[in-house]
Chain A
Amino acid sequence: MTWETMMGLEVHLQLATESKIFSGSSTQFGAPPNVQADAVDLGMPGMLPVLNEEAVRFAVKFGLGIGARIGRRSIFDRKNYFYPDLPKGYQISQFFSPIVCEGVFEVPMEDGSLLPIRITRAHLEEDAGKSVHDIFNQESGIDLNRAGTPLLEIVTEPDFRSAEQAVAYLKALHSLVTYLGISDGNMAEGSMRCDINISLRRTGSDVLGTRTEIKNVNSFRFVERAIHSEVERQSDILDSGGSITQETRLYDAERDETRSMRSKEVANDYRYFPEPDLLPIEIDEAYIEAVRASLPELPAAKRARFVSEYELSDYDAALLVPDHATAAFFEEVVSLGGAAKPAANWILGDLSGALNRADLTIESSPVSAEALAGLIGRIEDGTLSSKLAKQVFDGLWQGEGATDEIIAKRGLKQVSDTGALAQLVDDVIAANPDQVAQYLAADEAKQKKLSGFFVGQIMKASQGQANPKLLNELLIKKLNDQS
């Protein structure tokens, strides 16, 4: 039996507002427990929520960023349930009328195609606190620093058919929200948390199967692995004639399996009703237009522009754009005179390799955009061969100064003096009569291959500094002269 995987994602995105969604407490990550929880966050008697307008603006930014319809009148609701890290006994959320309504998000796939994913809705809500079970002997601790952090819950239709699509969506979402500046999207710190709804159906059928929900998966890699293992589990059950139980499951990364959550929430009834302590959020056209005008260039537009303006390949553009800082670095290199294609190659190649090895981000790169532009300039003007350029790059990385200083200090200038090169060519030809004879006897295709041997010898003799273009010209001419 073949099964088709149907998946929808719910992403809880922490919005990067300075203060919480309904109180003035800071939202900084990593503070000691409960120092960022005021009377509102603690749910103290008589305390009232006051909406942080920045959170509304961020939600509208997101809605416009994916081209969704903005709810002109969205309403907060109370979602009622008891849990120790939920101070009020209800979470303020949006159930009936969300702020962001339906939209379509186009996810760039690795093959350059765009995968349209239907966004059902995105709504504002407050985060809960954290229960800590492993610090106190026999007792649980509650940390309410996170309680009240603004969340945007982004819900998709069941449009994903593979783990790869789901991960591509999450990466594109991450890119979008960091471009919008509405979240740091840090999955490890819980700024972006993902729930996955998975069901299988018989290929060709249009009846949805019973779904399970995998909660709180916190990295791209785990999303991929969780999906693979859950799909395998479900198809094993279905193949052997069993049926799927609708339930919430947790992904255990250590065992690489999903398992049923202890069902503390048997048939939860959240008893949603409109939050009487808050007014509806009324959003008019002028507000939407003002937010729209404040939007930065978004990833999709930037990809297209990189292709048209810098004549980059779709592939390069797709690699440069997702990380806002990388794209900015690229444009800075180009604006400082670095040619676009080599700039892209250096950034995506040697620079990102070095950064990864050193565990640095591009913002803290030891090689500045200016330095890289200088290096590329010296390649373009023929001063450096690509081989020498790698040595200069190493010098730049080590902080030995600017490109020209390193060239001088390390004596890396390319030999472009025809006289000196001619002497090197002559010497190598003289020292290798057998190879010369072979060369002369070969056909054109073979000759090309054999010339490599001479180039290598000459490069070696010049300690890599021979200008390869000039060298080639001289060599071919002189070899042909031998006949």
Chain B
Amino acid sequence: MVDSAVLHASVSELHGMLTQRQISSEELTQAFLERIDLLNGKLNAVVTVCAEQALNDARRADKRLSRGKATMLTGIPLLHKDIFCTQGIRTTCGSRMLEQFIPAYDATVVAKLKTAGVVMLGKCNMDEFAMGSSNETSFFGTVKNPWDTQCVPGGSSGGSAAALAAGMATLVTGTDTGGSIRQPASLCGITGLKPTYGRVSRLGIIAFASSLDQAGPMARSAADCAHMLTAMSGLDAGDSTSADLAVPDFFSELSGDVAGLRIGLPREYFNDDLDSSVRAQVMSALSQLEKAGAQLIDIDLPHSHYAIATYYVLAPAEASANLARYDGVRFGYRCADPADLEDLYLRSRSEGFGEEVQRRILVGTYALSAGFYDAYFNKAQQVRRVITDDFRKAFQSVDVIAGPSAPGIAFRFGAKQQDPIAMYMEDIYTLAVNLAGLPGLSAPAGLINGMPVGLQLIGKPFEESTILNAAHRLQLDTDWHLARPPIEEWQP
């Protein structure tokens, strides 16, 4: 019997145990599979478990470990968000449309992590096509927040965040188009990083909004995220937008030194609209960094308030085209007995897509329509440049920009479901980072009424190391990231 502490151990700890043969990857994998088995009925965080394949992978990892050829990630159990295509394993993207879809290929991220030796336990639930901030839009049902199962885990990588928080895996992957890694990381009390646009290949990741989508690591600490990011990153000839830049060993760049680090606090984030308890936790985290030698500087991001409007034109516009391929012709859901082509399209898409996805397709189609293109899409493109420019100017005087990851703690199911705008406000602090293509992370900053809240750190392009290092400092000095949801209390 494996000590349940391993379920919450860090990559470094597990790597030490694996290389010293204190535990095998197979035992570790078995323990996580049992944990998933135990908790998933309640949390619904995982939609597909690949037990047999995981154990095979684990045995292969054990051989590699015994040959002394292991990397940091060899034998470490991981769950993928179900937006990453996995060869031979169903990839649903949280949608009825892809309920039966089995890709013939691995996403580059999946292949890279496989090469690094991780053991894939299965696939995580998510908002349908990554459209949502609460995991309530999944065709496979809502994901429960392990901190309070009456509450949402955030989204769209809510299954990933909940699974990690509940100890169902050591590492999970997420994708972030407008906050989909950072907001659920904040709501579930874990560390999640959205890398710079182009840092991680998008090949094999089911597209939502191509100019904004970026995959990233979600883990228990900045250090674990660093290990994972090193393995995930790099130029991919198969993704023309991936960056041709050397990938550092992000872990070895974590010096913990933040002396002289200039952290900008945008007045637009810390204004009167910010919930006072969130402000208190975020400021308490920032004062920790200040104590460690960082400087806090007030800055301006004057066009911040345009981010939501801009995002909700551009992202749906791109999505309206990206989701056109789901037409019932070649793969995916097809309606029964179509009368003709028009009927095939209409019913396959009406029955295969959920409400939020259909809403965004409609919004996006409208924004691109003749007569509206200039007023909506083109204008939004212009504002996107203005917002990007705000960040560029701000980064002339600071190294990092800090703020909340989300406007509040996890909310109850249904609380915002009938009000799309309220739901869209969940990403008010994260959207602009995607529009500007910058790296951003969320790190735990304590609890409010027993529920986690996150600090967001935003970096300059391709300076993930800087924000990871700041979070790492915070995690050396506090134990917020070690807080665990009260799962044992509600266990049978």
Contacting pair A80 B240 (CB below 8 A): no
**Chain B residues, Cβ within 8 Å of A82:** 324, 327, 345
Which B positions have Cβ atoms within 8 angstroms of A? 84-85, 91, 93, 98, 101, 103-105, 107, 202-207, 209-211, 237-241, 317-318, 320-321, 323-325, 327, 329-331, 341, 345, 365, 368-370, 373, 377
Min CB–CB distance B412 → chain A (angstroms): 33
**Chain B residues, Cβ within 8 Å of A276:** 209-211, 241, 318
A44-B331 Cα distance, complex, nearest whole Å: 8
Min CB–CB distance A94 → chain B (angstroms): 15
Contacting pair A50 B237 (CB below 8 A): yes
In chain A, positions 234-274 with a C-beta closer than 8 Å to chain B are 269, 271-273
Q: Which residue of A lies closest to B378 (CB)?
A: A273
**Chain A residues, Cβ within 8 Å of B210:** 276-277
**Chain A residues, Cβ within 8 Å of B103:** 44-46
A269-B206 in contact given A82-B324, A87-B325, A277-B241 (Cβ < 8 Å) = no
Task: Write out, one digit per residue, whether chain A residues 420-450 have a CB within 8 A of any chain B CB (1) or not (0).
Answer: 0000000000000000000000000000000
A45-B85 in contact given A50-B240, A80-B324, A273-B321 (Cβ < 8 Å) = yes
Contacting pair B239 A89 (CB below 8 A): no
Pick the contact of A45: B91, B329, B369 (CB < 8 A).
Answer: B91
Contacting pair B240 A46 (CB below 8 A): no
Among all A-B residue pairs, the 10 with the closest Cβ atoms: A89-B324, A271-B368, A276-B211, A276-B210, A43-B325, A46-B204, A45-B206, A269-B370, A46-B85, A88-B325
**Chain B residues, Cβ within 8 Å of A310:** none
**Chain A residues, Cβ within 8 Å of B365:** 271
A90-B368 Cα distance, complex, nearest whole Å: 13
A48-B202 in contact given A39-B105, A269-B370, A273-B377 (Cβ < 8 Å) = yes
Q: How many cross-chain pairs have Cβ atoms below 8 Å apart between A and B?
A: 101
A78-B321 in contact given A44-B103, A45-B91, A271-B365 (Cβ < 8 Å) = yes
A272-B210 Cα distance, complex, nearest whole Å: 15
Interchain Cβ contacts under 8 Å between A and B, 23 examples? A39-B105, A42-B331, A44-B325, A45-B91, A45-B207, A46-B85, A46-B204, A47-B204, A49-B240, A50-B238, A50-B239, A80-B320, A80-B321, A80-B324, A80-B368, A88-B324, A90-B321, A142-B330, A271-B365, A277-B207, A277-B210, A278-B241, A279-B241
Interface residue? A455 (CB, 8 A): no
Contacting pair B240 A277 (CB below 8 A): yes
A44-B210 Cα distance, complex, nearest whole Å: 15
Known: A44-B104, A80-B320, A80-B321. 7 other contacts (CB 8 A): A45-B98, A45-B101, A45-B207, A45-B325, A46-B202, A142-B330, A272-B368
Interface residue? A84 (CB, 8 A): yes
Task: Write out, one digit per residue, whether chain A residues 267-296 have a CB within 8 A of any chain B CB (1) or not (0).
Answer: 001011100111100000000000000000
A78-B368 Cα distance, complex, nearest whole Å: 11
Min CB–CB distance A131 → chain B (angstroms): 10
**Chain B residues, Cβ within 8 Å of A43:** 325, 330
**Chain B residues, Cβ within 8 Å of A42:** 330-331
Interface residue? A312 (CB, 8 A): no
Contacting pair B203 A48 (CB below 8 A): yes
Contacting pair B239 A48 (CB below 8 A): yes
A46-B324 in contact given A271-B365, A278-B240 (Cβ < 8 Å) = no
**Chain B residues, Cβ within 8 Å of A269:** 369-370
**Chain B residues, Cβ within 8 Å of A279:** 240-241
Pick the contact of B93: A45, A78, A87, A90 (CB < 8 A).
Answer: A45
Min CB–CB distance B132 → chain A (angstroms): 18
Contacting pair A84 B368 (CB below 8 A): no
A46-B318 in contact given A276-B211, A278-B240, A279-B241 (Cβ < 8 Å) = no
Contacting pair A84 B329 (CB below 8 A): yes
**Chain B residues, Cβ within 8 Å of A78:** 321
Interface residue? A51 (CB, 8 A): yes
**Chain A residues, Cβ within 8 Å of B207:** 45-46, 277
In chain A, positions 63-105 with a C-beta closer than 8 Å to chain B are 78, 80, 82, 84, 87-90
Min CB–CB distance A187 → chain B (angstroms): 29
- Chain B interface secondary structure, helix, strand, loop or mixed? loop
Contacting pair B203 A46 (CB below 8 A): yes
Contacting pair A142 B93 (CB below 8 A): no
A273-B317 in contact given A45-B91, A46-B204, A89-B325 (Cβ < 8 Å) = yes
A51-B240 in contact given A45-B101, A89-B321, A90-B324 (Cβ < 8 Å) = yes
Min CB–CB distance A209 → chain B (angstroms): 24
**Chain A residues, Cβ within 8 Å of B241:** 276-279
**Chain A residues, Cβ within 8 Å of B205:** 46
In chain A, positions 4-48 with a C-beta closer than 8 Å to chain B are 39, 42-48
A277-B237 Cα distance, complex, nearest whole Å: 12
Min CB–CB distance B271 → chain A (angstroms): 32
**Chain A residues, Cβ within 8 Å of B324:** 80, 82, 88-90
A82-B365 Cα distance, complex, nearest whole Å: 13
Min CB–CB distance A104 → chain B (angstroms): 31
Contacting pair B325 A48 (CB below 8 A): no
**Chain B residues, Cβ within 8 Å of A278:** 240-241
**Chain A residues, Cβ within 8 Å of B238:** 48, 50
A272-B317 Cα distance, complex, nearest whole Å: 10
**Chain A residues, Cβ within 8 Å of B239:** 48, 50
Contacting pair B325 A39 (CB below 8 A): no
Task: Write out, one digit per residue, whether chain A residues 378-398 have a CB within 8 A of any chain B CB (1) or not (0).
Answer: 000000000000000000000
Contacting pair A273 B373 (CB below 8 A): yes
Min CB–CB distance B383 → chain A (angstroms): 15
Min CB–CB distance B449 → chain A (angstroms): 39
Contacting pair B211 A84 (CB below 8 A): no
**Chain B residues, Cβ within 8 Å of A89:** 321, 323-325, 327
Pick the contact of A48: B240, B317, B330, B370 (CB < 8 A).
Answer: B240
Contacting pair B206 A46 (CB below 8 A): yes
Q: Which residue of B lies closest to A85 (CB)?
A: B329
A80-B320 Cα distance, complex, nearest whole Å: 9
Q: Which residue of A lies closest to B330 (CB)?
A: A42
Contacting pair A271 B369 (CB below 8 A): yes
**Chain A residues, Cβ within 8 Å of B237:** 50
**Chain B residues, Cβ within 8 Å of A50:** 237-240
Q: Which residue of B lies closest to A78 (CB)?
A: B321
Min CB–CB distance A45 → chain B (angstroms): 4
A87-B330 Cα distance, complex, nearest whole Å: 8
**Chain A residues, Cβ within 8 Å of B325:** 43-45, 87-89
**Chain A residues, Cβ within 8 Å of B204:** 46-47
**Chain B residues, Cβ within 8 Å of A51:** 240
Q: Which residue of A lies closest to B239 (CB)?
A: A48
Q: Which residue of B lies closest to A278 (CB)?
A: B240
A50-B93 Cα distance, complex, nearest whole Å: 24
Most chain B C-beta atoms within 10 Å of own C-beta, residue among A42, A51, A271: A271
Min CB–CB distance B445 → chain A (angstroms): 33
Q: Which residue of B lies closest to A39 (CB)?
A: B105
Min CB–CB distance A43 → chain B (angstroms): 4
**Chain A residues, Cβ within 8 Å of B206:** 45-46
Contacting pair A273 B203 (CB below 8 A): no
A90-B325 Cα distance, complex, nearest whole Å: 8
Min CB–CB distance B109 → chain A (angstroms): 10
Q: Which residue of B lies closest to A43 (CB)?
A: B325
A84-B327 Cα distance, complex, nearest whole Å: 8
**Chain A residues, Cβ within 8 Å of B320:** 80, 271
A142-B317 in contact given A48-B238, A82-B324 (Cβ < 8 Å) = no
Min CB–CB distance A80 → chain B (angstroms): 6
